[in-house]
Structures are given as C-alpha cells and as structure tokens.
Amino acid sequence: MARQNLPLHRVQKPPMTPRRRWLLIAGVILLLAASGWGVWVLIKPAIQRTIVITTGADQGIYRGFADRYAPILKREGIKLDIRSSSGSVENYQRLKDPDSAYEVGFIQSGTSSPSEEDHLQTIAAVSYEPIWVFYRGSTTIDRLAQLRGKRISVGVPGSGLLHASSVLLTWSGITRDNTTLLQMDAPTAYRGLENGTLDAAFFIGRPDAAMQVTLLNSNLKLMSFAQADALVQKFPSLSKVIFPRASTSIVKDLPQADVTLLAATALLVSKDTLHPALAYLLLDAAKTVHGGEDYFTPIGMFPNLSTEEFPVADESVRYFKSGRPFLQRYLPFWLASFIERRLLILVPFAALLLGLIQALPRMAEARIKRRFIVWYREIKSLEDEIWKSTNPGTKQIAQWRDEIENIDANASQIRIPYRYFQDVYSLKQAIGVVRDRVAQVAAKVKE
C-alpha cells in the first residue's frame, strides 16, 4: 500500500487575515494609480498642440511679434493661441498665476519684480522697444524736466510704457502735483497732440510700426534724451540707442539729426512648466523673426540671453550653445517629440527590465533554496522534539517514523535543475541523521 504523504504541520505560515488582505489590495490599487498618473504626466505634454500666449494691444508691438510667430509654429503642427492684453504688467500678472491658461507672453524689462514663487523663466530677450517722446511747440526739449507743468500722455494701465514713463518722469521731478499726467492709448494720444489738447506724449514701439511711421512723418517734434546715459544708470533695464539721421526719409532728411532714445527690452517669458520641445520651437521662431538687422542692432544680436530679470530656461542655454536637440534637427517636431517622450518612459522601464534580468537568476536560486529550507525546518523541528522527549511511547515513535519518511518522500519529488542535485542529497543526509536518531530512540524503548 502506497504511503500517503503527510502535510507540513511543524512549519506553517499564518493564514492571511481579512485586514491584511484588504491592505494588500489597497496597496496594489494605489501602486497602479500612481503608475498611471506618472505615465499620464509624461505623455500629456507630448500631445500638446496649442500654446496660449498673452501679448498686448491688438495693434501693438507684441501682437505683431506673435502674429509673425504663428505661421512658423503652424508649420510644426503647433497652434499659437494669441490673446490680447493691456500690456507688459498684465502679461506678468497672467503668467505668474499658476491656474491661468497662459503659458507664454511678452514682458518689458523693468516692469516687474519677479520672485522664485512666480515660477517663470526667460526663453529669450527678443528685441529693443524704443521709447519715443513727441511734443508740440517751438522750444526744443531734450530733458524730461522741461515738460513740467504740461499735459502729458503716459500710457495705459497695465502697460510697460506707463511704468517706464512714470519712473522716468519721477526722476525728472515731474509728478501729478505739478503736471497733468493722462493715461491714453497711442491713437488717442496722437490725436491729442494733433488737436492741441496734449503737449507731449510717450509712445513705445519699433520705427516701422504703423503708429511710429505716422508720428515720424508728422509735424510733431521728437525728443532726443540728452540725459540718456544718466537715466540708464538709474534704470538699468533700459538701454541707450540711436535713431540715425534720415532713418525716416532720406529724401526729406528726417530726422535731421541723430536722435538719442531710451529702449526697454522685450522678453519672451514662459511658465517653468512649459514643455522643453515647445521652448525649442519658440526659440526657432524668435530667431527667425528677430535675428535680422534692426534699426538699432546689428544682424544676429537678437534673440539673446542678456537679461537677469527672470531665470533663464535650461533649454535656452542649451539652444544658444549647441542648437536644437539632435532628434529635432533631423525629424519633424511631432515625431521627435514622440520619440523623446517615449524615451523618457522607456529608459526607466529599460533600466528596471535590465535589473530584473540580472536579478532573475538570483530570484530563481532563492526560490529553489526556499524549497529545501521548508523541509530543513521540518527536520529541525522534528529533531528538537525527539531530543526533548525523555520517555516517548511506541505510538509517538511511529509518528516520528511516518514524519521522517514523509519528508524523505517529498524530498525525492522536488523538481530542480541538475546543478542543485547536491542540495537534494545534502537534505537526504540530514533526513538520514534524524532517521537514525528515531531508530536509536526506538531501540532504547524496546530495551
């Protein structure tokens, strides 16, 4: 009659309680949720096809920049969602709001007080923004202090022009207490100068902008900043630039002398969460739009990173050092972005897979060793019981014999690779030692 193998009873794992089972299930669910969230965070930027940009007035310099960026980005499959604003100050407020839809915008240098909590970064400085002061009358004005007591337009609320003009006028001793300062947009200010309701007005923009062309070809006078060097020292965010003689018209010799102007710098700024691939596309667009020769700068001066207003994006540093990443140079944006994002996902998994491959042999060996350990523990428990029993009966000895034979039978059935056969025979030697011990005890009982 075949022997019926007895189950393990000396070394048993405690049964899993309902509480432990629910904790295990909850842990698995949390792990899957965290993994899904991580994959979504990595994949989400890769499928982004729209950039929301905050610019300025509809006919302003910033809107003009964005309008020129849009077709360049469209060629790469990216839509530029252009949204107007009152100007630089409002753009800054929009971008630093983490819950706003705005991702990119133009900010005039010197019009904000950024902090680390804003989480904003400079993509590039893209252009000078010259500040123009046009005035009426026969007297030549080359110092802002000469405008004291007059009616002056200083820009609109939320604009960088309003901030810059207010600072410059304050340093020149002009305040609302001694001068009439009016907040007007450019078209309204121009009409005010033409009809005599204004004496002077601040404007900002490129010389080829529609409003500047109109002003430069009018009978109004353009102020040359005689104190430009001193003002730049006090307001480092501004630069001194020269509008050359006859730049408006060589035939009419307008202007009839070089004009010294002050210029802010237009900064292309983004939230620091902007996807790096999109930052590279914006840099390409900026280089195309702003890289040519300008009235005030030689070819290639813009875009650049000559600004300390906001932290400079890491992608911008790499771009100006070595250009676009390798894949983006030779592949369409969508394909390069797809591969780069998948690499970010696959590289950690590949590392994990490599680690698992290296660990598999050790895991397999540990699993095989655990098969022997179970039976060694049974043998040790049985041997301990034999040693502790001072006067065992025949029934107890018979049970011991059944247990040791059951262990021997199970040891013979362990399926393992050939290289572990030595472990099988080591186990059998241990079984033999305990079997001999049972035989010795049985012999003493018979005596």
Each residue of 386-404: b (16+ CB within 10 Å) or e? beeeeebeeeebebbeebb
pLDDT at 218: 95
Highest average pLDDT, of 19-28, 167-176, 308-317, 406-415, comes from 167-176
Residues 312-346 have pLDDT tens digits of 998 899 899 888 776 666 666 555 555 655 565 55
Compute how many other C-beta atoms are within 10 angstroms of the C-beta atom of residue 245.
14
Residues 256-271 have pLDDT tens digits of 999 999 999 999 999 9
Q: What is the DSSP letter of 167?
A: H
User: In the structure, what pLDDT confidence band is assigned to residue 19 with cuts at 50, 70 and 90?
Assistant: confident
How far is Cα 21 from Cα 290, in angstroms, rounded to an integer? 64
- Beta strand pairing call for 180-182 and 151-153: parallel
pTM over 0.85: no
Residue 38 has pLDDT above 70, yes or no: no
- Look over the chain and give the mean of its residue pLDDT values, rounded to a whole number: 85
Q: Which fold has domain 48-324?
A: D-Maltodextrin-Binding Protein; domain 2 (3.40.190)
User: In the structure, what pLDDT confidence band is assigned to residue 47 with cuts at 50, 70 and 90?
Assistant: low
Side-chain half-sphere CA neighbours of 379 within 13 A: 22
Please list, in sequence order, all residues whose beta carbon lies within 8 angstroms of the beta carbon of residue 168, skipping any fewer than 6 positions away.
131, 144, 231, 235, 262
Separation of first and last alpha carbons in the chain: 30
How far is Cα 342 from Cα 174, in angstroms, rounded to an integer? 59
At 242, list the tokens.
């020269």
SS3 270: strand
Q: What is the DSSP letter of 359?
A: H
Burial class (CB in 10 A: 0-12, 13-18, 19+), 302: buried
Q: What is the DSSP letter of 115?
A: -
Residue 4 has pLDDT above 70, yes or no: no
Phi and psi, residue 414, nearest 5°: -70, 125
pLDDT at 364: 76
Each residue of 174-204: b (16+ CB within 10 Å) or e? beeeebebbebbbebbbebbeeeebbbbbbb
CA neighbor of 119 nearest in space, from 269, 272, 274, 275 = 272
User: In the structure, what pLDDT confidence band is assigned to residue 40 with cuts at 50, 70 and 90?
Assistant: low
Residue 128 has pLDDT above 50, yes or no: yes
